[in-house]
Structures are given as structure tokens and as C-alpha cells.
Amino acid sequence: MYGILSPGDGIHVRRKRDPSDMSKLIFFDIDGTLAMPGTSPSEETAGAIRAARAAGHRAFICTGRGVELVADDISSIGFDGGIYHAGGQAILDGKLVYENASDPAMVDELLPVITKYASFYTIETEAGDFNSEFDPEILSRINLDHANTELQRMIHLVLTQKHFPASAYRGEKVYKIFFFLEHMEDYLAIEKQIGPDYLAVSFQNMTSDMPIFG
């Protein structure tokens, strides 16, 4: 079980569309869609995206990752922009057009609750990811073949050291907090204690009949 905390407001954009415009806006998740964590997109996938753009459509990344954690073999395919940090940032044609970030006081308020229950957490910021220590004993019991791709991605980042230690966090703007739990009741306790000001989203495993542990 793991969850994501982010500011609870959203954005809605409406624009009148030219009826003669048949182009599409196509959004691609990364992990489990463009590629599995730690792997590269296939040539067929990259070619299809480039062909769609050549035909007049626009292609965007839509991911929980920060833009700085999108690997070169993905960004080099060519995209018109993307939605990052699970809605924390939106980039169009290389420009930041939307940002949904919280001030550092959010971390001071939430971390005592999260650290009480979570086995692992990540603070996603403008400067990169700040990770707590992942207990090797818990890591050894996770069945990665059954784990959700978001959890696979986080473990891959931990193992490849593509992050900062949580102790190095110094008040950067926060887009999202990811945390890993072993028990559903721990998630419910966090959800109850954080109140309505934050959006909490929970994910379990890839299919409901496959345990993450074991």
C-alpha cells in the first residue's frame, strides 16, 4: 500500500475548438505505458509517437515523476510538453504554464504524521526527490513482479541513488509526498489525521488478487 499527498486544488481549462481541427492531444504515462521502470521505450513506441506528431497531433507526457527524472531516452522521443508530479506542474512548448505547489510549512505539518506510519517516503520538490531510508528487510520482501509500477519506479530510484536524503530537505517547494505502507489501516489513519486540506490517493498492487509481499 502506498499513497500520494498533494495540495487539494485543481485546474480546469476550457477552450473553444475549431470544428475543422481534427488534431488530437495525446497523453502518455511513462511507467508501465511508455516503458517499465528501468527500461527504455521500444523503437516501435518512439516511432509511433513521432509519426503522430508528424501527422499534426500533439504528444504529452503525463506522469507522477518530476520533469528532471524523465530519462533522456524518453524525452528525446520528442514531446510538446507534459504534466508532471501527478499534476504539480504543466509544461507546454518548454514553458511552465501551471504549478500546484505547497509551501514548506506543509512538510512540517505532514511529516510527523507520515513518519509515524510509513515505512518509506519521498518529498518531491522543485530541486528533486528527497527520500527517507528504505528498510532493507522490507525491500527484500517486496515482490516486484506484482508491485504497482509507481512502487517499482520508487524502488528503482532508491537502488540507483537518484535522489537526495530526506535529511537534506531545506524548504524547497513541494509538489507531492509519496509514502509506502504495509497496512491499509495505516493509510486510513494518515487520511484521517491530515484532514480535508490535502488530497490523498492510495494505490495497492497491479491486480487485486496478487500480494505485493511474498
Cβ 111 vs Cβ 166: under 8 Å: no
List CB contacts of 43: < 8 A, sequence separation 6 or more: none
pLDDT at residue 208 is higher than 70? no
Determine the distance from the C-alpha atom of residue 112 to the mean position of all C-alpha atoms in its chain, rounded to a whole number. 22
Fold of the 102-203 domain: 3.30.1240
Read off the pTM: 0.74
Give the H or E element holding residue 105.
helix 105-117
Superfamily the domain 23-99 falls into: HAD superfamily/HAD-like (3.40.50.1000)
pLDDT at position 54: 96
Q: What are the pLDDT digits (tens) for 73-88?
A: 999 999 999 999 888 8
| pLDDT level of residue 34 (50, 70, 90 thresholds) | very high
Q: What is the mean pLDDT of residues 202-212?
A: 45
Domain layout of the chain by residue ranges: 23-99, 102-203
- pLDDT attached to residue 120: 85
Q: Is the dihedral of CA 183, 130, 192, 85 positive or negative?
A: negative
Q: Tens digits of per-residue pLDDT, 38-76?
A: 789 999 999 999 999 999 999 999 998 888 888 899 999
The pLDDT score that the predictor gives to residue 8 is 47
User: 123, 35 in Cβ contact below 8 A?
Assistant: no
Distance from C-alpha of 176 to C-alpha of 100, rounded to nearest angstrom: 9
Rounded to the nearest 10 degrees, what angle do helices 105-117 and 184-194 cross at? 150
Residues in the chain: 214
